[in-house]
Chains A and B, each alone.
Chain A
Amino acid sequence: MFTGLFNYWVVIIIMMSGLYVVMSSSNLIKKIIGLNIFQTAVFILFISMGKISGGTAPILAEGITAYSNPLPHVLILTAIVVGVATTALGLAIAVRVHEAYGSVDEIEIAAIDAADFDQETPAKPAEDTTS
């Protein structure tokens, strides 16, 4: 009875693992890796629902009657693009964080900020190193 659901469960496990990485890791880069995994799992979920057993790819051809649903494919194409765009921007911010703090570890960064606060020194401005 549950064989038809196995696919979804695998996706759910992957999804949650990704989410776990995002939330537990203190390294900013690893957080983005987690986000990627999380999103990819969602993509697989979407594509799974478009599949028809015995169907083929939705490219029209003579003599084929069953095609998989093209709409989820379109949505996920868009979502993949959105994903890579987010990744690129996230990494760019992480790189700037590294330049400003010398670290990409959340715990270390929090410690540096706390130290700034204790000494009541004005926080250093993030230097505009862009040319």
Chain B
Amino acid sequence: MSNQLPAIVLLLTLLAAPLCSMMRNGDHAWKLAVSSAWLSVVAAFALLQQVWGGYEISYHMGGWPPPWGIEVRIDELSALVLVLVTLFGSIVLSALRESLRPIMRSHRHSLYYTTFLLCMASLIGITITGDAFNVFVFLEISSLSTYALIARGRDRRALTASFRYLIMGTIGATFILIAIGFIYMVTGTLNMADLAERLPAHADNRVVQASFAFFTIGIALKVAVFPLHYWLPNSYTYAPKATTAFLAATATKVSLYVMIRFVFDVYGIEFSFQQMQLGLLLVPLSIAGFLIASLTAVFQNDVKRLLAWSSVAQLSYMVLGLGLLNIDGLTASITHMFNHAMIKAGLFLALAAMIYRVESSKLSDLAGIGRTMPYTTAAFVILGLGLIGVPLTAGFVSKWYLISAALEKDWLWLAVLLIASSLMAVVYIGKIIDAAYFKPVSASHAQVKEVPPIILIPCWTFALLTIYFGIDTRLSAGLAGRVAQTLLGVGS
């Protein structure tokens, strides 16, 4: 059974989705969705255990050996992303039922869970596949389900946000398709490992160079690399509450994973960074990205939008770590991918809990919420500290690696800029804490009560995980360090 795990981890959620859609009763659908999601977490951890220590699993779909058939390939990096997607997705899904209740009639719920499961399944599919075209197929499932999820937001601007995302996302995906077509054109294969072997011989071919350009633009749209982030703030702001937590945690992270896979494994470091000088492009853009996005976040009055802008900034950190091209930088990138997914999912979920009671995410409406909803707010504060990067939280670990990566390059100015950006994070998180604890409760919100445990427990799970991964970094930074060494091809 254990050798079938790569297929099982995907099928659990992918099969639960159509079953869910056939259920009229939203509650039953939720139970099915949650149980299948948690089972996939178990499968993901089992896979992580199998590859722990630098092993690889290759699973041949349909029994055809690659490059003729489609290969599923799992190494430590993909197993980590797998855990990220399944674990954080499942926690959010557990809280989803309560938070959906006010915004949707109950018999629509099963469809919503179906979409959620499809999105999760497709992200799993992207993570485990070893075939370039297969990435495109699953990327489209995830995109389509994301558009649908966002468009269900309560505000009508959710519709325009979703439409804009659809246009941008489809252009991005088609660019990736062109890129895949081009590398196929020169190598005659679609298997990623096979591509990696064959591409270096064609490094001077203009088709490969163009392919790289198209891929970079396409995936940068999906990762929301500055300045291609325009779809993100609106999409996150207007998506239905708990959904934002899921999207912020997983969708962009998986795209970043695809980026790492292609840039380091398929195209190869030498081609990406020496010939195409990707670093020269990514580093300035990401520096501009985190500075501008952090600054924008400081001036937001809507907490949801504030957190969305902060996401743009944090994504820039990850891209920066990737662009710095040293072990610490890459470790920071991968660790932060994991840590930020956890922290941001928790923040958005805690915020969703507040919106659940207060029905607004405006800073002024959240005044005094620390007194009316003490437990939720406490979780929010812990997570907020994690976002800033306070020691003993997970955020500190990844910031630490990032700054040491900058120092390793003797770029003191970069370290200073990073600290400056963290200070801006202090300002915008501080703004929220100030409103929550030190402003008087407005009369209309005096009766606000704490949320039911089914939402509160997931929030606290994220908060406690943030502290746990701030202390025990074997799973996050330890693994990321090994992965970084493998990707950069040094030591082992």
Judge: A and B partners, yes or no: yes
Which of A19, A85, A94, A125 counts the most B-chain CB atoms under 10 A from its CB? A125
- Say yes or no for A14: interface residue by CB 8 A criterion: no
Which residues of chain A have a CB within 8 Å of any CB of chain B?
A: 19, 22, 28, 31, 35, 38-39, 42, 45-46, 49, 71-72, 75, 78-79, 82, 85-86, 89-90, 93-94, 96-97, 100-101, 109, 113, 123-126, 128, 130
Question: Quick check: which of B78-86, B150-158, B477-485 contacts chain A, the rest being far away?
Answer: B150-158
CB-based contact A128/B105 at 8 Å = yes
CB within 8 A of A49: which of B155, B156, B174, B185?
B185
B143 contacts across to A, CB distance below 8 A: 86
B residues with CB within 8 A of A: 104-105, 108, 133, 136-137, 140, 143-144, 147-148, 151, 153-160, 162-163, 166-167, 170-171, 174, 177-178, 181, 184-185, 190
Residues of chain A within 8 A of B159, CB atoms compared: 93, 96-97, 100, 126
CA–CA, A72 and B180, complex, Å: 11
Instruction: Assess the A42–B181 pair: CB atoms within 8 A.
Output: yes
When A124-B156, A128-B105 are in contact, do A82 and B171 touch as well, CB less than 8 Å? no
Chain B residues closer than 8 Å to A130, beta-carbon distance? 105, 108
User: Are the C-beta atoms of A123 and B156 separated by less than 8 Å?
Assistant: yes
Instruction: State how many angstroms separate the Cβ of A36 from the closest Cβ of chain B.
Output: 10
Please indicate the chain B residues that have their CB under 8 angstroms from the CB of A42 in the complex: 174, 177-178, 181
- A126 CB to closest chain B CB (Å) equals 4
Given A28-B163, A93-B147, A93-B163, decide whether A128 and B181 contact each other with a Cβ distance below 8 A. Answer: no
How far apart sit A49 and B153, CA to CA, in the bound complex (Å)? 43
Closest to B177 in A: A42
| Chain B contact residues, majority secondary structure | helix
Q: List 18 A-B contacts (CB under 8 A).
A: A22-B167, A22-B171, A39-B170, A39-B174, A46-B181, A49-B184, A72-B184, A75-B133, A78-B137, A90-B167, A97-B160, A100-B159, A101-B156, A101-B160, A123-B155, A125-B156, A126-B155, A126-B159
Q: Can you name the residue of chain B whose Cβ is closest to the Cβ of A123?
A: B155
Taking CB atoms, residues of chain B closer than 8 Å to A71 are 190
Write the nearest CB–CB distance from A86 to chain B, whole angstroms: 5
**Is B181 touching A45 in the complex (CB atoms < 8 A)?**
yes
| Cβ–Cβ contact B156 & A19, under 8 A | no
Chain B minimum-CB-distance residue to A28? B163
- In the assembled complex, the Cα of A45 lies from the Cα of B174 at a distance in Å of 12
Q: Which residues of B contact A124 (CB under 8 A)?
A: 156
Residue of B nearest to A49 (CB): B185
CA distance A124 to B158 in the complex (A): 11
Verify B137–A93 contact, CB threshold 8 A: no
CB distance from B198 to the nearest CB of A (A): 15
User: Are the CB atoms of A89 and B160 closer together than 8 Å?
Assistant: no
Given A45-B181, A82-B137, A86-B170, do A126 and B163 touch, yes or no (CB 8 Å)?
no
Min CB distance B143 to A, Å, is 8
Inside 8 A of A78's CB, which chain B residues have their CB?
133, 137
- Those 9 A-B pairs whose CB atoms lie nearest each other, nearest first: A126-B156, A100-B156, A97-B159, A82-B140, A93-B163, A125-B154, A96-B159, A123-B155, A49-B185
Contact A128 B148 (CB under 8 A): no
Residues of the A chain whose Cβ atoms lie less than 8 Å from the Cβ of B144: 85-86, 89
Given A85-B140, A89-B144, A93-B147, A128-B166 contact (CB < 8 Å):
no
A86 near B156 with CB under 8 A, answer: no
A124 to B172 Cα, complex, angstroms: 31
Q: Please tell me which one of the listed residues A19, A90, A113 contacts residue B163 in the complex, with CB atoms under 8 A apart.
A: A90
Chain A residues within an 8 Å CB radius of B157: 113, 123
Quote the shortest CB–CB distance from B250 to chain A (angstroms). 20
CB neighbours of A31 from chain B (8 A)? 167
Q: Could you say which of A39, A86, A97, A125 has the most chain B C-beta atoms within 10 Å of its C-beta?
A: A86
CA distance A125 to B104 in the complex (A): 12
Of all chain B residues, the one with the shortest Cβ separation from A86 is B170
Interface centre among B137, B163, B167 (most CB of A within 10 A): B163
Interfacial chain B residues near A35, Cβ < 8 Å: 167, 170-171, 174
Tell me the complex Cα distance, A85–B157, Å: 23
Q: Are A128 and B133 in contact (CB under 8 A)?
A: no
Report the minimum CB–CB distance from A108 to chain B (whole Å). Answer: 11
Q: Which residues of A contact B166 (CB under 8 A)?
A: 86, 89-90, 93
Chain A residues in 8 Å Cβ range of B170 = 35, 39, 86, 90
A121 to B6 CA separation, bound complex (whole angstroms): 51
B171 and A19 contact, CB distance less than 8 A: yes
Contacts of B156 in A (CB 8 A): 97, 100-101, 123-126
Query: What residues on A are CB-neighbors of B137 within 8 Å?
Result: 78, 82
> Which residues of chain B come closer than 8 Å to A38, judged between CB atoms?
171, 174
Residues of A within 8 A of B190 (CB): 71
Are B163 and A94 in contact, CB atoms less than 8 angstroms apart? yes
